[in-house]
Amino acid sequence: MSHKDIFNRIGRSLHWLVAIGFIALSLVGIYMANVEAWALYPVHKSMGILLLSAILLRVCWRLWRGWPESAVPQSRIERMLAKIVHRLLLVGTVLMPVSGMFYSGASGHGFGLFGWQLVAENPDPQRPGQVLAYDDFWSALGEQVHEIAGYLLVAAVLLHIAAALKHQWIAKQTRLRQVNNRGSC
């Protein structure tokens, strides 16, 4: 196997690792926030922090290897749109865990990695069971960014999947046409 094949394989594996983790965390996040499934919060936070290491590795990989060329021919508009969505997705994958950590940390809820505490909870002595924010500004900013970017990124991912399926379909049609043309010679 050539070096180029190995690099392509690593790039693709990182894409799928981050893609699957990101989709799963978005679904769990939306579910737990809407039905107040408190037991899922520490799992969501731990998985998000764990995924951040793969996300940072992927960002370094992209900066080092550059952006891959599209496998199918695209119009100028499609190329530009894909470029914007891909960059948004890459930035979004960093923004989500970072804003989540700011929100959970600054709000006083704290977070950890599967039981290993990274930022401690800040219990309110006046109200048992409640927490006191360490910093209201960073807590509110983290919450807003995590929520708004979360829903915007779900839309961007759906657009990205639709484009990938369309490319897959075009590539399949092109292959079929080539086979048919060869058959009729």
177 CB neighbour count, 10 Å cutoff: 10
Stretch that binds ligand HEM, among 42-50, 123-131, 133-141, 169-177 (CB under 6 A): 42-50
Binding ligand HEM by CB under 6 A: which of 104, 106, 108, 139?
104
Binding ligand HEM by CB under 6 A: which of 10, 54, 70, 121?
70
Give the amino acid at 109. Answer: H
Burial class from Cβ neighbours inside 10 Å (0-12, 13-18, 19+) for residue 85 reads middle
Given a contact cutoff of 8 angstroms between Cβ atoms, the answer to whether 59 and 90 are in contact is yes
Buried b (16+ CB within 10 A) or exposed e, 52-62: bebbeebbeeb
Pick the closest to residue 119 from 42, 30, 51 (CA basis): 42
Shortest gap between Cβ of 182 and ligand HEM (angstroms)?
26
Nearer to ligand HEM, 62 or 127 (CB): 62
- How far is the C-alpha of 134 from the C-alpha of 90, rounded, in Å? 30
Please give the size of the binding site for ligand HEM, defined by CB under 6 A: 40
> CA–CA distance from 97 to each of 119, 120, 169 (Å)?
14, 17, 33
Q: Is 26 an interacting residue with respect to ligand HEM (CB under 6 A)? A: yes
Window 122 to 161, contacts with ligand HEM (CB under 6 A)? 146-147, 150, 157, 160-161
Nearer to ligand HEM, 70 or 122 (CB): 70
Q: Is 110 an interacting residue with respect to ligand HEM (CB under 6 A)? A: no
Q: Is 82 an interacting residue with respect to ligand HEM (CB under 6 A)? A: yes
DSSP string of 60-103, one letter each residue:
HHHHHH-PPPPSS---HHHHHHHHHHHHHHHHHHHHHHHHHHHH
Shortest gap between Cβ of 126 and ligand HEM (angstroms)?
22
Residues that bind ligand HEM (CB under 6 A): 11, 15, 18-19, 22-23, 25-26, 29-30, 33, 41, 44-45, 48-49, 51, 62, 68, 70-71, 82, 86, 89-90, 93, 96-97, 100-101, 103-104, 111, 146-147, 150, 157, 160-161, 164
